[in-house]
Structure 1
Amino acid sequence: MDLGIVKRAGRKPVVIGFLTFLFPVTLNLIVAGILSGKREMDPVLLKSIWHVAIFQAVTSFHVIVCLLADLKLVNSELGQLAISSSMISGMCSWGLVIVILFITELKHEPFWILLCPISLIVLIFYVLRPLMVKMIAKTPEGKQVKEGYVLSIFIMVLGTAFLSEVLGHHVVFGATALGIAVPHGPPLGTALENKIESFVSSILLPSYFVLSVSRVDLLSINSETVFVICVFGLTSFIGKVLGGMLPALFFKVPPVEAFSLGLVMSCQGISDVLLVQHGHLTFVMTLPSVYPILDIQIPLLLIEYYCLILCRNLHVFACRMQLVDRQMYSMMVINMLFVSGTFTPVIKFLYDPSRHYKASNKRTIHHTSLNMEFRILAGIYHQDSTPCMIRLLEISNPTAKTPMCCYVVHLVQLVGSLSPLFMYHEPGATAKLPTKDCGRIINAFRLYEEESNGNVIVNLFTSISPFASIHEEVCRLAVEKRTSVVIIPFHMQWRFHGIEDITEARAVNRHILAKAPCSVGILVDRGTLSASKHHFVYKIGIIFVHGRDDREALAYGLRMAKHAKVSLTVIHLIDPAEGAVQSLDMDLDDDIITEFKAASAGKKRHSYLTEFVKDSVELITVIRSVQNSYDLILVGRHHRSFSPIFMGLTEWNEFPELGFLGDVLASSDSQCQVSVLVVQQQVYRAGDRMNSAKNLLEDSAETVEIIFECTQGWKDIDISRHRMQPR
């Protein structure tokens, strides 16, 4: 847990979290008062009705974060809001539960019940936490925590859990308090998760669920209990949905997202099962004749109750202090299973973050004017990709008339923490950086920005999130900043010591290719582009066959061709069998080829070559004859798979995300030593051309507004009159 999320939470999550706690608790207590006053019921049920009302209304931060992780919504706007809100709601809920349990136990030994947990918390936060901080300080950055440190923390877990039990509280109390005290994230949190995650998730957790549900006795449930539990379940559900939905609507969250947020906040899971189980399996034990100083009440799990038989000769006295009986426990567990099992697929159906990207105006390099600002979003997994990315930005020809705005996102996998982090690095700020790699990346891009003489503006971000959903951050940023292309490194990175395979990054790249709101480029970095910085000319090659992705690659090449130190060669591969076929796609190909010929006329450093190929063998022969003649090769991703020149390549495509040509250049048996940029154009439908013109007008209107806002003498002018409205 990252408790800092509470400090960073704005007004919106605080209001939603507090109301999500207040509404269901209030409704359930009102209903409990009505039922206990106007309905005759079983005495046991009447005695427990207030506890049932509270147990049904609580919210758990861990359950909601795990649910969002399973649905891959951690990085979505809904997920970020739900995480912050659930932290507030969960703290209020569990604070209320602890108070109620303390009040229940205070009837027996008030002094010990209050003193013991306070002493345990002081021990954890003022003795054990400083020890863990020292462990982190003694661990060199980038190195793993020593096995002895991990073992000592496991001993701390067992020790605090045992002390919690001995001092009169549930075993989970001490372990949870220690978990909060452990510094989240690397290196300590990461090491602990790597050690115990598989064992807990694969063995302990399923076993615990089986054990918990095995205590459910369907035959013992009567109609009265079913009615009461269902009423509380319904009112708590309504309270949580309203508590999440109403403030979200007030803060102008779309209705579907607000309702989905309410459903997320209403789900229950393992923490709630543990709470109900504690209420059902609580016992009080006193040891007056053996340990007079421990004349206190100790809650025990059911399995410990059987151990009391062995203690009869010690004159141990035990009595049951049951907050809910077996049939109430059974019905509440069934209710939790029903709520979580029903609403999880409903949330997945209602809320799809990619719908925002699909509904947004598509942006591509080809449809971005050469005379307007060019916006690029660059993702980086490792600092070694920085030189090649900077060189690619440099040859994209930023000038005073055609400036470039670059958004750089350092993508870091979240391990050892539940809360993702998205940071914007302000120029000149001295904020604490998550990793050393992050600092080096920031310094390199800041230096490039300074050397660009104002032609490039660089905005730097760090996203620390699960790789299963980190693409949502990239796509959302691309939508907000209206970028024309997202450029991300290939998951295989060529280093001096060999090839480094970031396996998790491959899935991230595929998700970005599928959901990005703009064009996407995958950069296969072999070091040739960054090493060519001392050359007089950057040699760029484009292998052009046909289709929209090849046109997008050539459109990018047209930008590069305007750079004084770029030599661009277009190799047009022509299938003679398709020469007589005319189509709109081929007309568009001819148009951009003609545009390149006109732009390169009279410039000896640019050239246009044609090669006739009739099958895949000739295609590969041509590619291998030119593959090591350049510093960077641009290719399109998609081509017609039924074309004869690609017929054989479809059967052994090693990296489908690179397309046919990219796979030939980057496959393991390739002799290519050159960096490759594989380009995919965002699909432009018929109605999107009007949107392109609309975007141009919106950008112009935005520029007009900025001019007026920056002119101090014109503050009173109504800017709305100067907006450019698209026809």
Structure 2
Amino acid sequence: MMNSNETIFSSATLLFEIPLVRRQIYNVCISQPMKIISDGIWTPNEGSKPLESAFTMLELQIVVIFAITQCFHFILKQLGIPYLVSQVMTGFLLGPSIPTGPLEKYKKMLFPFGTPDIISTVSSYGYAFLLFLNSVKMDLSLITKTGNKAWVIAISSYFVPIIVGFLSMAVYGKKWQEMLGEDAVGLPVVFISHSGCSFAVISSMLNDLGILNSELGRLALSSAFVNDVLGNIWAGFGTAIVSSLRMKLSRRIINAVAFPAYIILVPLIGRVAMRWVVKNTPEGKLVHKMYVYVIVAMFFLLGYVAMSINQPFLGGAVVLGLAVPEGPPLGSELVHQLELFSTTFLSSIFVTCLTMKVDLTQCDSLPLIGVICGLIIVVHIVRWMLCIGICRYCKMPLNDGFCLALILSCKGVVDLVSYILVYDSMSQSKRVIDIMVVSVLIFGTLGVYGVKTLYDPSRKYAGYQKRNIMNLKHNNELRIVACIHKPCHMNHIKNVLELCYPAHENTLVIDIVHLTELVGRSNPIFIAHKLQQTVGSSVYNYSGELILTFDLFERDYPGFATANTYTAISPVALMHEDVTNLALDKNASLIILPFHVKWGGDGSIESEDTKIQSINSRILERAPCSIGILVNRGPSTLNSISYKVALIFLGGHDDRESLCLAKRFAKNFDNILYVYRLLAHDHDMANWDYMIDDEELRGVRGAHATFENVTYEEIIIKDASQTTFFVKDIANKFDFIICGRRNGVRSSQTSGLENWTEYSELGVIGDLLASPDTETKASILVVQQQSTVASSG
């Protein structure tokens, strides 16, 4: 008789004796020796049957599972349902949960007795590597950085529901024992498991929702981390105690000492070895593959050691993963090498194979369903009330508190697999596990839908407060947030800041953020270098160059310029959150973004970075202040201490904002500013916008001019071709050109040019200046004024 419950995760000695209800007798016919490789369908031998070979059957099973999962996902993703649901539904369909009528015989042919365990054993390595990589991505220092709020939420939301669960057992335990019989033994597992949450599941959910970098996302991630660590330690000690009940006293003592020693010594010693690997990897080079092979070998060895002290094989994967320094070069290389095949492909099949063991048709006991569902609901209501209450005490909005509660209640692949493994260890009845598997689907989907509906991270950027240059009081300090992705951006940003002329009554506060892609770690980090002098190994070296560059800039303008440097490590899809959050926190009036195109010395396009373009587009949509996109077509350093600057003014909000910035440039009398106002030949002088433009221009024209180094000129434009000719004519006469974006604004000066715009983020004039057809060595700044609620409405 084949034991279908033994996998690589269960030790030879089961935690409990096999209950009578779990004992089943099968009549199985097995051909020995088993045929591994098929003779093929084109062989001349009569009676050739490819499906009798184990390898052919395994391939066919994988193809069928993958195809059905993708079909489910193609339909369910339109409704926003997580991918896990598609995997589980495939398991239900191929298992006994969903009867398929006349197709049942084909299902038994495809998955004869014992074969699901063969494929689940093969694919289980994928899940083991999934947990390993999730541990690699964890930043252990997060536990020391977590604030009091996250600690209180994590500890209370874990232990208080457990206490409530045991109190319920004390009050109703006898009654439930009479109603449920043997099924009542596993009730503590129900409320203990639902009191915890998985850091990997929460991190993946927040990333999918695009709120990993938000204030709510960071709080949820910190709380989940603490909760998960507490849950794993609790489960580890519980497993060690339960598995030792039938052992000798000496063995119990060894297990009790071995488990804490294991979880302390492996990360402690392993971390030192891993850091040696990082130290001996040249900057910018990949980790040598030999180190990766050694770590994979240690992965299997430590799994064996974990099983020898009566811990699950997965314990070794998690503990070793915690020893690996997150981020590049080692953590990111392991993720790159192992993630696609092991976690994306194999773990998906593993989940489906495990859910094939679930049989929902056996859940026919209404008392059992009522008690378990009641316990689960009570646990989650207690958790929600605690989260909401603590958040309200900390003056968080009620809506955000409820969203945090939904996030921490979310269940996923780690929870589902844990339930099935509990079933495999014979410590829980099949019917209880079936109901808990369904609860994973419900809470996983409920969390995603609830947060999507209730939480809008962009609402805090609503422009009720005016944060732009135009509305700054006279001689007020100008606050700027500047973004840097690559070393080549630094000098160009510095040139713009020098143009802003930090001086008495013209002070400048600059926050420079170096944006780095999150690779090989789960949680985004944000480093303020003035508060933290040392940069971790996961930050590229040129962050040090950035700090030095802007420290020197600050020293060049003592008392007039303040430069703060930051490093933000986050996913590309969420980098805009770091920038907009910083601008919001620092009350900035302008964000300067580098353009995504890099030009060569001959004026041709050298490279384009679509990631930078997508980040810029998101910031343009939700920035809490004005924005300037810096296009660099000239040299990174200018030899002259003075600049020839041109402002192309057509009118409107964006052009008025660029005019205000240009006036600041002109406060340095070494700079020469030319203001070109392009007027339509049929312009209406009684138009309200025209009169506002006229009033703003008074300071640079005619008798009202306040700057001697400013030249003002009005040019009548008959059609768009004249505008194109004028822009190309002046493009190579200046060091720096400023214009407004004027997105969505139509005028006779640019009529028709909108259809030929290649870079919409630059507007019509900016796109003309950035075109390869325009010969220029000037740097170009395209300005968009803050979009306020009033102006947008």
Aligned residue runs from structure 1 range 681-692, under 5 A = 681-684=785-788, 686=790
> Residue 460 of structure 1 corresponds to which residue in structure 2?
565
- Aligned counterpart in structure 2 of residue 445 of structure 1, from 542, 550, 559: 550
> Residue 140 of structure 2 corresponds to which residue in structure 1?
3
- Aligned counterpart in structure 2 of residue 226 of structure 1, from 331, 354, 369: 369
The alignment covers a number of residue pairs equal to 647
Q: Does 1:482 align with 2:590?
A: no
Q: Given the two structures, how large is their TM-score scaled by the length of structure 1?
A: 0.84
Q: Does 1:573 align with 2:686?
A: no
1:669: Cα distance to partner? 4.8
- Aligned counterpart in structure 2 of residue 561 of structure 1, from 654, 666, 670: 666
- Aligned counterpart in structure 1 of residue 413 of structure 2, from 237, 254, 270: 270
Compared with structure 1, are the counterparts of its residues 431 and 137 closer, same or farther at alpha carbon in structure 2 (3 Å cutoff)? closer
> Residue 53 of structure 1 corresponds to which residue in structure 2?
191
> Residue 597 of structure 2 corresponds to which residue in structure 1?
492
- Aligned counterpart in structure 2 of residue 170 of structure 1, from 296, 312, 321: 312
Residue aligned with 2:281, SS: coil
> Residue 325 of structure 2 corresponds to which residue in structure 1?
183
Structure 2 alignment gaps of length 5 or more: 1-137
Residue aligned with 1:531, SS: coil
Compared with structure 1, are the counterparts of its residues 616 and 193 closer, same or farther at alpha carbon in structure 2 (3 Å cutoff)? farther
1:66: Cα distance to partner? 1.4
CA displacement 1:46-73 (0-9 Å, x = unmatched)? 1111222212222222211111111111
CA displacement 1:31-60 (0-9 Å, x = unmatched)? 233342233223221111122221222222
CA contact (8 A) 2:156 2:386 kept: yes
CA contact (8 A) 2:514 2:566 kept: yes
Aligned residue runs from structure 1 range 416-431, under 5 A = 416-426=520-530, 429=533
487-496 or 390-399, which deviates more: 487-496
Aligned residue type for 1:509: N
1:206: Cα distance to partner? 2.7
Q: Distance in 1 between matches of 2:224 and 2:619?
A: 28
CA contact (8 A) 1:20 1:243 kept: yes
1:115: Cα distance to partner? 6.0
Residue aligned with 1:65, SS: helix
Aligned residue type for 1:81: L
Compared with structure 1, are the counterparts of its residues 131 and 481 closer, same or farther at alpha carbon in structure 2 (3 Å cutoff)? closer
Aligned residue runs from structure 1 range 595-634, under 5 A = 595-597=699-701, 601=705, 605-634=709-738
Compared with structure 1, are the counterparts of its residues 640 and 265 closer, same or farther at alpha carbon in structure 2 (3 Å cutoff)? closer
CA displacement 1:423-479 (0-9 Å, x = unmatched)? 222289456573321111111111111110311112222212222222222222222
Aligned residue type for 2:555: E
1:599: Cα distance to partner? 8.7
Residue aligned with 2:242, SS: helix
Compared with structure 1, are the counterparts of its residues 250 and 148 closer, same or farther at alpha carbon in structure 2 (3 Å cutoff)? same
User: Percent identical across equivalent pairs?
Assistant: 31
Residue aligned with 2:520, SS: coil
Aligned residue type for 2:492: C
Q: Distance in 1 between matches of 2:757 and 2:407?
A: 41
Compared with structure 1, are the counterparts of its residues 214 and 235 closer, same or farther at alpha carbon in structure 2 (3 Å cutoff)? same
> Residue 373 of structure 1 corresponds to which residue in structure 2?
477
Compared with structure 1, are the counterparts of its residues 18 and 639 closer, same or farther at alpha carbon in structure 2 (3 Å cutoff)? closer
CA contact (8 A) 1:370 1:402 kept: no
Aligned residue type for 1:523: L
CA displacement 1:180-239 (0-9 Å, x = unmatched)? 111111110111122233334541343233223333322111222321221122122112
Compared with structure 1, are the counterparts of its residues 471 and 125 closer, same or farther at alpha carbon in structure 2 (3 Å cutoff)? same
> Residue 642 of structure 2 corresponds to which residue in structure 1?
537
CA contact (8 A) 2:268 2:323 kept: no
> Residue 586 of structure 1 corresponds to which residue in structure 2?
690
1:594: Cα distance to partner? 2.4
Aligned residue type for 1:573: L
1:634: Cα distance to partner? 0.9
> Residue 238 of structure 2 corresponds to which residue in structure 1?
100
Q: Distance in 2 between matches of 1:351 and 1:586?
A: 41
362-371 or 554-563, which deviates more: 362-371
Residue aligned with 1:344, SS: helix
CA displacement 1:474-517 (0-9 Å, x = unmatched)? 22222222111111111223467973433322222111111111
> Residue 514 of structure 2 corresponds to which residue in structure 1?
410
Q: Distance in 2 between matches of 1:590 and 1:531?
A: 35
- Aligned counterpart in structure 1 of residue 608 of structure 2, from 501, 518, 537: 501
Q: Does 1:524 align with 2:631?
A: yes
487-496 or 172-181, which deviates more: 487-496
Q: Does 1:679 align with 2:783?
A: yes
- Aligned counterpart in structure 1 of residue 292 of structure 2, from 135, 150, 157: 150
CA contact (8 A) 1:519 1:679 kept: yes
> Residue 295 of structure 1 corresponds to which residue in structure 2?
none
1:342: Cα distance to partner? 1.5
Q: Distance in 2 between matches of 1:526 and 1:582?
A: 39
Q: Distance in 2 between matches of 1:637 and 1:212?
A: 56
Compared with structure 1, are the counterparts of its residues 257 and 495 closer, same or farther at alpha carbon in structure 2 (3 Å cutoff)? farther
CA contact (8 A) 1:665 1:676 kept: yes
Q: Distance in 2 between matches of 1:8 and 1:119?
A: 25
- Aligned counterpart in structure 1 of residue 429 of structure 2, from 325, 346, 350: 325
> Residue 291 of structure 1 corresponds to which residue in structure 2?
none
- Aligned counterpart in structure 1 of residue 166 of structure 2, from 29, 33, 42: 29
Q: Distance in 1 between matches of 2:260 and 2:559?
A: 58
Q: Does 1:258 align with 2:401?
A: yes
Q: Distance in 2 between matches of 1:336 and 1:665?
A: 55
431-440 or 600-609, which deviates more: 600-609
Q: Distance in 1 between matches of 2:687 and 2:572?
A: 41
- Aligned counterpart in structure 1 of residue 352 of structure 2, from 201, 206, 210: 210
**RMSD between aligned residues:** 2.6
Q: Distance in 1 between matches of 2:637 and 2:326?
A: 39
Q: Distance in 2 between matches of 1:201 and 1:648?
A: 51
Residue aligned with 2:462, SS: helix
592-601 or 24-33, which deviates more: 592-601
1:527: Cα distance to partner? 3.9
CA contact (8 A) 1:468 1:508 kept: yes
Q: Distance in 2 between matches of 1:163 and 1:203?
A: 27
Aligned residue runs from structure 1 range 673-712, under 5 A = 673-684=777-788, 686=790
Compared with structure 1, are the counterparts of its residues 658 and 599 closer, same or farther at alpha carbon in structure 2 (3 Å cutoff)? farther
CA contact (8 A) 2:700 2:706 kept: no
> Residue 248 of structure 1 corresponds to which residue in structure 2?
391
Residue aligned with 2:573, SS: coil
Residue aligned with 2:213, SS: coil
Compared with structure 1, are the counterparts of its residues 681 and 599 closer, same or farther at alpha carbon in structure 2 (3 Å cutoff)? farther
Q: Distance in 2 between matches of 1:236 and 1:446?
A: 53
Compared with structure 1, are the counterparts of its residues 635 and 163 closer, same or farther at alpha carbon in structure 2 (3 Å cutoff)? same
1:341: Cα distance to partner? 0.5
Aligned residue type for 1:92: L
1:136: Cα distance to partner? 1.0
Q: Distance in 1 between matches of 2:480 and 2:559?
A: 16
CA contact (8 A) 2:463 2:786 kept: no
1:610: Cα distance to partner? 2.9
CA contact (8 A) 2:463 2:789 kept: no
CA contact (8 A) 2:240 2:259 kept: no
Aligned residue runs from structure 1 range 264-303, under 5 A = 264-282=407-425
